[in-house]
Chain A
Amino acid sequence: MPLFYDEDQAMLADTAAQFIADEGAIAKQLRHWRDRDCKDGFGHELWKQFAEMGFTGILVGEEDGGMGMGNVEAGIVLEQIGRNLTPSPFLTSSVLAATALNNGSADLRGRYLPGLISGDSVFAVAIDEGAKHRPERIRTKAEKSGNGFKLSGQKDFVVHGASADMIVVAARTSGSDDDEDGITLFAVPKDAAGMDHDAVRLVDSSMATHTKFDGVELDGDAVIGEVDGGREILNKVLNAGRVGAAAEGCGVASGAMDMTVDYLKQRKQFGKLIGEFQSLQHRAAHLYSEVEVAKAVTIKAAQLLDGNSENADLMVSVAKSKVGHAAGLAVREGVQMHGGIGMTDEYDIGLFMKRDRALNEFMGDAYYHADRVARMSGY
């Protein structure tokens, strides 16, 4: 498989680019909802439009009414979301939760997927416990109780947690905190008694929650996959989420870089366009190179994931780490090269910096994934 988009994918990319640039633009979505202090942090109307475009069910199998596409295609949509900083539940709902549900029973899929595909539902995923991404350690417990389970513990950085109609929760059903086995995934409905959200607005104006589970009672049919067999599904969810976040990060990086390169061609100082100065040219060219490499490895990782390659795990972490650094460089250089106006709220470049910071942290930052690459390589 060549490492660029095939004809169908190129067409999807064109469609997504046009649609999201029009409807998901910064002024129309991010600033609009932020300035109204929106409690969801995104617009439901746009989410319905995503459904009309067929994006919401992009990873859902055709037999369940979805598009039956892969992570490369989801990444195409996410890159445009990143480029336009579009606040959207796409990553948490259509990538993370959908990947989990795809591994669930027909009953669960029938309960949740139609709402996702129609754009009526929004989902979240609760994995992290604490300020850093450490999915190897799961302490939230689900104990057997009658025919079902009782869920207790706390999850953090649950993006869209308070807006979600259902939250996929990774909990421990046996073993000790650091065990590989003994994990079970649950689909927890929003009205579950004993679930308490502490909603927080993040630096990028997105909304997340610290969510407490205080003896939340769940039926046995809330289990996604097998009891104690959740690690394998969780890994699939993590891979899809990480490569998805990397694709969105590529969009953030490209958007920030393009804005900055444009600015270098407009701003004059000392009677010259600042883009004529070699010190800035070389930094821009270096940035371009880093972003190109980040994009290449992101497509590669998504292709490997879609092809069920055994190398996918490694390259997903390579991609998340590489993109973390490249996008970070793009936004830092972006603000610096914009000079004073780069620090103002009026200019968009600072919004890229904020989004990058949150996205880099999501699903493990550049350091976490570099460490993971080392461990997987045997050191």
Chain B
Amino acid sequence: MSDLEQFRTETRAWLDANCPEEMRQPVRDDDDTYWGGRNATFKNDAQKAWFESCRDKGYTVPAWPKEYGGAGLSAAEAKILRQEMARIGARPPLSSFGIWMLGPALLKFGTEGQKQRFLNEIARGEIRWCQGYSEPGSGSDLVSMQTFGEDKGDHWVVNGQKIWTSYADQADWIFCLVRTDKDNKYQGITFMLYDMTNQGVSTKPILLISGSSPFCETFFDDVKVPKSYGDDCPGYVGEINRGWDVAKYLLGHEREMISGMGGGEHTAAIGAAMQRRSAQDGDDLDPVLRAELAQFDVDALAFTAMGEKFMDEMKAGKGHPAQPNMMKYVGTELNKRRHELMMSAGGSRSLEWESDETGGGKPSRNWLRTKANSIEGGTSEVMLNVISKRILDLPGA
């Protein structure tokens, strides 16, 4: 038996022994997600047990090095773990912007001291992070951001406002883009790390059209941010005034992540499920709707092949570096179309906003939520700009 086959056998046995039955059900909503952090509570014993088993094994962040709280798995091993978890429908034991965003940034740009401290806190689910990027006047044109940190020697005093800060009201710390040089647009931003309980930080949830509030406005009023948290542990990532490099890297990473969320081939096509739903009402799909669903299924199934090719090329170091922008564009536009068609197929049932039958209005709330897909993390229009410039090399783009 090869090492990888051996690893698969062991992983399967470990999952059998450690993943509770309740944690093998699909994630229905945010309540089923464990985010960690100082104020986190477990929804049930199974969630706690599953999280703790994974934490102790390094499986909250399997591919991170062991000394930072991971399991040090190779890419091939991590893929096997993903496959085996998918096979039994295991939920992620811990979700966080620390894992998805800050972690990768620290692994690439962080000092040893930062990695030791922050990565371990993330891996163990002790600190919940949020991301401070967009500002009211700086959405697509992010680099125009104004939140300013005044240099006071061993610390900065930060003033300004961020917006669309995901779960800022529940986060413990923030990684935040702060302008530290007003005369230098791109090389005047610092990627700071600080505690949300610092004096002068306040948050206000934003009620969205879907009725939920996953985003906040975040205000900084004379917030004192230390330049250092101890030996080899600066309060910023990378260099002072070079935070844009980190931000750009993370935006690319975020687009990859969003573009990878399309789900597998089995969830991609929706026509058959919509037909079954109609049949339950003793009805048939309208022929024109059926045709639109068929065309959607073609596009969705084709996109699963694109996703596979994209991942394979990325792993092999092939493919254009700006390709994640294309993936993000196509994937998010497809997802919006998916939910439009699901709403149409569902008819008046899917308009219900609170009924138990719809799980509290899931069809309509999810449909509205998808409208943000092509806005957050770079709008579709910005993606098209990037493709024009970096892939097609069009003039003046």
The interface of chain A, by Cβ under 8 A from chain B, is: 2-4, 261, 264-265, 272-273, 275-276, 278, 281-282, 284-286, 288-290, 292-294, 296-297, 299-301, 314-315, 317-319, 321-322, 325, 366-367, 369-371, 373-374, 377-379
Contact = CB atoms under 8 A, between A and B. Distances in A.
A240 B299 CA distance: 21
A377 B271 contact: yes
B303 A293 contact: yes
A377 B394 contact: no
The residue in B285, B306, B391, B396 that gathers the most chain A C-beta atoms within 10 A of its C-beta is: B306
The residue in B290, B305, B330, B381 that gathers the most chain A C-beta atoms within 10 A of its C-beta is: B305
Interface stretch (B95-103, B161-169, B172-180, B309-317): B309-317
Interface size class of B (residues with CB under 8 A): 35 or more
A229 B188 CA distance: 74
A2 B311 CA distance: 9
A132 to B, nearest CB: 16
B388 interface: yes
A2 B316 CA distance: 9
B210 interface: no
B291 interface: yes
Interface in B253-279: 269, 271-272, 274-275
B298 A378 contact: no
Given A261-B394, A273-B396, A374-B293, A289 B326 contact: yes
Contact of B316 (A4, A281, A321, A371): A4
Contact of B385 (A281, A294, A321, A325): A281
Contact of A322 (B294, B298, B312): B298
A200 to B, nearest CB: 31
B372 interface: no
Contact of A281 (B275, B294, B388): B388
Contact of B387 (A272, A289, A296, A315): A289
B151 interface: no
Given A261-B394, A300-B309, A288 B326 contact: yes
B395 A4 contact: no
CB-CB nearest 3 A-B residue pairs: A379-B275, A285-B387, A300-B305
B297 interface: yes
Contact of B384 (A3, A282, A293): A282
Contact of B298 (A261, A264, A373): A373
Nearest to A318: B301
A379 B297 CA distance: 11
Contacts of B76: none
10 contacts: A4-B313, A282-B384, A286-B384, A293-B302, A294-B302, A322-B298, A369-B298, A370-B294, A371-B291, A379-B290
Contacts of A288: 326, 387, 391-392
Given A297-B301, A379-B293, A374 B395 contact: no
A373 B274 CA distance: 14
The residue in B272, B290, B301, B387 that gathers the most chain A C-beta atoms within 10 A of its C-beta is: B301
Contacts of B383: 285
A370 B298 contact: yes
Given A265-B394, A321-B298, A296 B326 contact: no
B74 interface: no
The residue in B297, B298, B299, B383 that gathers the most chain A C-beta atoms within 10 A of its C-beta is: B298
A212 B289 CA distance: 40
Contacts of A315: 301, 305
Nearest to A275: B394
Contact of B309 (A282, A296, A325, A369): A296
B394 A281 contact: yes
A3 B392 contact: no
B397 A276 contact: yes
B397 A281 contact: yes
The residue in A276, A282, A296, A299 that gathers the most chain B C-beta atoms within 10 A of its C-beta is: A296
Contacts of B312: 2-4
A293 B306 contact: yes
Interface in B36-69: none
Contact of A377 (B297, B302, B308, B329): B297
A254 to B, nearest CB: 13
A370 B392 CA distance: 30
Contacts of B385: 278, 281-282, 285
Contacts of A297: 301-302, 305-306
A261 B295 contact: no
Nearest to A303: B305
Contacts of B301: 297, 314-315, 318, 373
Contacts of A301: 305
Interface in B362-397: 381, 383-385, 387-388, 391-397
B87 interface: no
Contact of B297 (A4, A278, A373): A373
Contacts of A276: 394-397
A374 B302 contact: no
B28 interface: no
A109 B90 CA distance: 53
Contact of B305 (A3, A264, A286): A3
The residue in B275, B323, B383, B395 that gathers the most chain A C-beta atoms within 10 A of its C-beta is: B395
Contacts of A374: 271, 290, 293-294, 297
Contacts of B308: 3, 296, 300
Contacts of A319: 302
